[in-house]
């Protein structure tokens, strides 16, 4: 897939973004290889596309950071050991999924 096709796919994903942390993580995982590619050679994208990608990326990172804070808060508020194990397992899953992001 060339750079223009990747950008179109990512911009479509950003437009369809539902606000969930899982979808944010999927889009960030699409964006990071593109950003790495853009650092090694001159971009063939317009300035507007680059700004749109950057703004989308920053928004997604904010969503993931909020989800991380929310999970930490939920974990600290739970009192039952079974509930703590469930939230802790989900938190570990999200942290491992976000490891490359943060």
Show the domain range for 43.
Answer: 3-98
pLDDT tens for each residue of the chain, 102 residues long: 678 888 899 999 999 999 898 999 999 998 888 888 888 887 788 888 889 999 999 999 999 999 988 888 887 777 677 777 877 788 787 777 766 555
Instruction: Report how far residue 21's alpha carbon sits from residue 24's, in angstroms, rounded to the nearest whole number.
Output: 5
pLDDT value for 41: 80
Q: Residue 2: what are its φ and ψ, rounded to 5°?
A: -85, 175
Please enumerate, as own/partner, the contacts of 91-100 that have beta carbons within 8 Å and a separation of 24 or more: 94/21, 94/25, 94/67, 94/68, 95/68, 97/25, 98/25, 98/64, 98/68, 100/29, 100/32
Residue with tokens 């999924």: 97
pLDDT value for 61: 92
Overall number of domains in the chain: 1
């Amino acid at each position: 897939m060339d750079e223009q096709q990747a950008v179109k796919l990512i911009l479509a994903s950003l437009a369809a973004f539902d606000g969930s942390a899982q979808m944010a993580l999927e889009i960030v995982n699409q964006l990071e290889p593109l950003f790495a590619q853009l650092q090694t050679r001159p971009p063939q994208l317009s300035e507007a596309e680059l700004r749109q990608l950057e703004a989308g990326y920053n928004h997604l990172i904010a969503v993931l950071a909020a989800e991380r804070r929310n999970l930490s808060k939920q974990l600290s508020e739970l009192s039952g050991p079974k509930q703590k194990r469930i939230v802790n397992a989900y938190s570990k899953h999200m942290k491992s999924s976000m490891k490359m992001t943060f």
